[in-house]
Amino acid sequence: MRFRSLPFIVFFVLTALLAGCAGQRVETQPQPPVSSSRNDLNNSSWVKQTLYAQYSDWKNVKYKGGGLSKGGVDCSGFVFLTFDARFGIKLPRSTEDQVNVGTTIQQRDLIPGDLIFFKTGKTMRHVGIYLEDGKFLHASTEKGVMISNLDDQYWLRTYWKSVRVKT
């Protein structure tokens, strides 16, 4: 006898759950204003907002060599994913290839969205994306996705070059 009412109970519970979901507003991360072109890297204000939104989504994701997900990402993978998802720009996957995607610029001429490269070992390279005021976004081997400052001693010592991506 108890099992005859089971379908009714299941129906009632599912109806209540669905009705509850229909009335709830889903909170999402605020999105930066849409630029006139998805890959308009000349709009510094929009690029900064877009990069800070990316940071908000990826903050503290752990470093993983070869990684391309929120389960773990490396520096060039983070740059690769950021430019694809946020700017609609397909960059090469590796740091060695990313260094050749644009025009070399002086560090003093950096604008939001420029790539910054470091020589962190004999053959090791690191890449980040310039934000503003000496800050850059990157996937650190020790702390994962984070914002660092070019004035920190380590980054001053290992700075190699900066590149403006061609759009």
Domain edges within the chain: 44-165
pLDDT beyond 90 at 16? no
Characterize the bridge pairing of strands 115-119 and 102-105. Answer: unpaired
How big is the chain, counted in residues?
167
The residues, any chain, with a CB within 8 Å of residue 115's CB and separated by 6 or more, are 79, 98, 99, 101, 102, 127, 128, 129, 130, 162, 163, 164, 165
* pLDDT value, residue 160: 97
pLDDT beyond 80 at 66? yes
To the query of whether residue 126 is one of the catalytic residues in this protein, the response is yes
Determine which one of 110, 138, 144, 145 is catalytic.
138
Pick the CATH number of 44-165 from 1.10.3210.10, 1.10.1270.20, 3.90.1720.10, 2.60.40.10: 3.90.1720.10
Determine which one of 126, 146, 150, 162 is catalytic.
126
pTM (2 d.p.): 0.78
Alpha-carbon torsion 139, 142, 147, 148, what sign? negative
Determine which one of 41, 47, 51, 75 is catalytic.
75
pLDDT beyond 80 at 3? no
| Per-residue pLDDT tens digits for 144-158 | 999 999 999 999 999
Q: What is the mean pLDDT of the chain?
A: 84
